[in-house]
Amino acid sequence: MARRNHGGPTSAPSGTPSPATPAATPGRQREIVWGSAYQLTTWYASAYPAEYDSAEVLHICDRCFKYMRKEATLHRHLAECQQLTPPGLELYSDHGQPSQPTKQLHQPRLQSLRIFEVDGKAHKLYGQNLALFGKLFLENKTVSYDIDRFYFYVLTRTFTSDGVTAVQVLGYFSKEKASLEQHNLACIVVFPPFQGQGHGQLLIDLSYTLTRREGGSGTPERPLSAQAERSYRTYWQKAVLSALHEHSREYYALDRLCRQTGMTGDDVMTTLYRLGLVQHWHSQAVLCIPKDDLQQRIDRVNISRFPILKPRALRDWTWDSVSP
């Protein structure tokens, strides 16, 4: 299969840094061969072992994310790799529609989006390799090898073409198993070949769906990259406007909006201010929205495709049954 080349960033990566401690370490760019289909130019350095620094091209499996120095080693590995899907529980499966033919693909493919929850403690090597790979396209933090306290939610695309089924990892987000600061997301990244297709919004929507199912509210870990900040602002506006539209009334309670969206009060209020929906009365912030004014904002943001996750595709589970 001919490899598709994806160069350096034309915009910031779609996400916040991987589970780690903040540090500004851009490092050198390098070429990587990812599986049998992609040749990428990395954006930032990652904490691969020192003996791999001398390799001008790093070869990485697109299924288990094992890294190698030589192309021949990668070819042998790909023929033997048993990691057909991410390890862990499948939380989401949307079978979608056949894809459209392209110049590279003359026959449509049946494809589905699936999300797996990977426990960093139970699948330590996979989690470490995934975080190392993700850091190649993330700024501001260094990778931590102590991933026992993290879950990884890995988005994949499963497609069938000419009778052959394959699974491609598109990106992931991670979250701490227990966060004292209400963080429902530590890191999010969509890999370069798959950016600009709405996958980041899908992952953000899952993070808030998990938060609501836990019965709480959450917020992403800061700092956010410029691209992630834009993605979150877009998502927050859709979430808040959708909640307001669902329960149309003249006055709204902040705690009700938090419960409906899974967002923290600070994030809800920041979003309302940006939407211009907060007025001040007797030195107090009051949310009072004329129906026509609300509808104009809803029309501009377009909430017709919100929520992004399809409820029928989400596994029916309780939190205790997901990760024993």
So which residues are the catalytic ones?
Answer: 221
Burial, 233: exposed, middle or buried (Cβ in 10 Å; 0-12, 13-18, 19+)? middle
Cα distances from 247 to residues 160, 297, 311, 322, in angstroms, run 42, 15, 20, 31
CB atoms within 10 A of CB 161: 14
- Bridge partners of 89, per DSSP, are 117
Q: Contact 63/81 with Cβ under 8 angstroms?
A: yes
Can you spell out the DSSP letters for 55-119?
Answer: -SEEEE-TTT--EES-HHHHHHHHHH----S-SSEEEEEE---PPPP-SS-SS--EEEEEEEEEE
